[in-house]
């Protein structure tokens, strides 16, 4: 029963003021973290939805790309295809930076020049068919989706982690810290009332003693 | 009742830090679309000192919506002010550019009230989807607890 526990403080007025300030801070943080949690959850759901859509698009695109590659393979044979693919090989330029979503630093990936025209790919346009062009185009499009999906996946992980952290904070505040401070304030107030009563009784007794003399 | 020694100032210090996180993602200074388009890696500096980068694709999309003269009027990121207790969000109108952008991104005429574009939750989602790096959330002050 964590609510029943008290914060060990000296029963002084200054401690009571300090506790009241802490309660105010805890309530304010609780309200704000809860609001932030709501926005983070909203963002998380949006990103999750996009993630699913991207994944579906990728599966579909890859399916089309492999079908096109199969046709190209049938047309040219594996040896020629390997040769042409070697020529088309290149390094990819992906720039990574960050974007800030409600205090969560998420990665941002931007791929440059993934899509190329058939003439830019480097293989011979005379010796190859349109099947290979189509397969290359579809794989390039898949690659673009993969980069986007990677960014989304990491964003989803980071948002999920932050949501968990914010949830833990709100739970700790709601179920432990705030009830504990409130109980301590109540305890101190009762202590002061008791002191006041004692003081009153003492004064009354003093009055009686003085009146007897 | 059991007493515990929770005098640790650390807890309260951490709580205070949580308040700081709330505005850490907001830009220190917003930049115009024209300025951002001229930068090699378009970005703004956030309150916590980190950089928030914009996707060039998004900036080009915005430039396609707005004319060259309007590109100066659109300050980025666009701040979507949210009140968690309400179903509405809003965007302050500093020029007509915001309205033009929102109209195109949503594919419909948004409600304008008291110099603000009023957005409903599904519209916020659609806008964020279209402009993920060019928009930022901000919590409305009225929604914050007063303690």
Task: Identify which of B50, B84, B144 has the shortest CB distance to residue A105.
Answer: B50
Structure tokens at A124: 């011979």
Domains, chain A, with CATH or none? 2-212 (1.10.287.3240)
Contact partners, residue B71, CB within 8 Å, separation at least 6: B32, B33, B34, B37, B62, B63, B97
Chain A residues close to B16, C-beta within 8 Å = 25, 29
Q: Pull the structure tokens for residue A16.
A: 């009571």
Q: What is the pLDDT of residues A126-153, one digit of tens each?
A: 777 888 888 889 999 999 999 999 999 9
Distance from the Cα of A89 to chain B's closest Cα (Å) equals 25
Phi, psi (degrees; rounded to nearest 5) at A161 = -65, -45
Distance from CA of A157 to the nearest CA of B (A): 17
The 8-class DSSP code of residue B71 comes to G
Chain B hits for A46, Cβ within 8 Å: 125, 128-129
Closest to B131 in 3D by CA, of B67, B71, B68, B79 = B79
Torsion angle of alpha carbons A96, A101, A105, A107, nearest 10°?
Answer: -20
Tokens 């914009």: give the residue.
Answer: B54
Tens place of pLDDT per residue across chain A (213 aa)? 444 677 777 888 888 998 998 898 888 888 888 888 988 998 999 999 999 999 999 999 999 999 999 998 888 888 887 887 887 778 888 888 888 888 889 999 888 888 888 777 777 777 778 888 888 899 999 999 999 999 999 999 999 999 999 999 899 889 988 999 999 999 999 999 999 999 999 999 999 999 988
> Which residues make beta-bridge pairs with A6?
B3
Q: Rounded to an integer, what distance in angstroms lies between the CA atom of residue A77 and that of residue B121?
A: 54
**Rounded Cα gap, residues B83 and A141, in angstroms:** 39
Q: What value does the mean pLDDT take over residues B35-50?
A: 90
> Do A22 and B12 make contact, defined as CB atoms within 8 angstroms?
yes
Question: With contacts defined as CB-CB under 8 Å, which chain B residues touch A97?
Answer: 41, 43, 51, 53
Contact list in A for residue B2 (CB cut-off 8 A) is 4-6
Task: Give A178→chain B minimum CA distance, Å.
Answer: 12
Domain ranges of chain B: 25-141
Instruction: Considering only residues B124 and B6, tell me which one the structure prediction assigns the higher pLDDT.
Output: B124
Q: Do B19 and A32 touch (CB under 8 A)?
A: yes
Q: Residue B90 pLDDT more than 60?
A: yes
Average pLDDT, chain B: 82
Whether the predicted interface score ipTM is above 0.85:
no
Contact criterion met (CB below 8 Å) for A205 and A72: no
């Amino acid at each position: 029963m964590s609510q029943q526990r008290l914060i060990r403080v000296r029963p002084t007025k200054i401690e009571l003021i300090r506790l009241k300030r802490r309660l105010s801070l805890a309530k304010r943080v609780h309200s704000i973290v809860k609001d932030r949690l709501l926005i983070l959850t909203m963002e998380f759901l949006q990103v999750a939805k996009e993630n699913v859509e991207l994944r579906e698009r990728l599966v579909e695109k890859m399916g089309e790309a492999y079908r096109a590659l199969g046709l190209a393979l049938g047309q040219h044979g594996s040896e020629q295809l390997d040769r042409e693919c070697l020529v088309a090989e290149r390094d990819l330029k992906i720039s990574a930076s960050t974007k800030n979503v409600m205090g969560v630093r998420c990665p941002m990936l931007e791929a440059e020049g993934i899509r190329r025209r058939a003439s830019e790919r480097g293989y011979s346009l005379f010796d190859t068919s349109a099947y290979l062009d189509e397969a290359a185009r579809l794989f390039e499009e898949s690659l673009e989706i993969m980069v986007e999906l990677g960014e989304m996946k990491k964003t989803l992980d980071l948002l999920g982690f932050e949501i968990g952290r914010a949830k833990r904070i709100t739970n700790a505040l709601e179920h432990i810290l705030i009830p504990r401070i409130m109980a301590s304030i109540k305890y101190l107030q009762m202590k002061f009332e008791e002191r006041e009563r004692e003081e009153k009784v003492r004064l009354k007794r003093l009055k009686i003693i003085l009146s007897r003399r | 009742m059991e007493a515990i020694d929770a005098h640790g100032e650390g807890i309260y210090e951490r709580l205070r830090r949580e308040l700081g996180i709330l505005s850490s993602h907001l830009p220190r200074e917003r930049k115009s679309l024209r300025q951002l388009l001229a930068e090699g890696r378009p970005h703004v500096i956030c309150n916590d000192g980190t950089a928030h980068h914009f996707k060039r694709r998004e900036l080009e999309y915005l430039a396609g919506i707005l004319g060259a003269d309007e590109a100066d009027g659109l300050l980025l990121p666009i701040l979507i002010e949210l009140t968690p207790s309400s179903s509405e969000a809003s965007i302050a109108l500093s020029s007509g550019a915001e309205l033009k952008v929102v109209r195109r991104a949503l594919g419909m005429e948004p409600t304008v009230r008291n110099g603000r574009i009023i957005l409903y939750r599904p519209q916020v989602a659609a806008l964020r989807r279209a402009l993920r790096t060019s928009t930022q959330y901000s919590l409305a002050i009225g929604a914050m607890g007063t303690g």
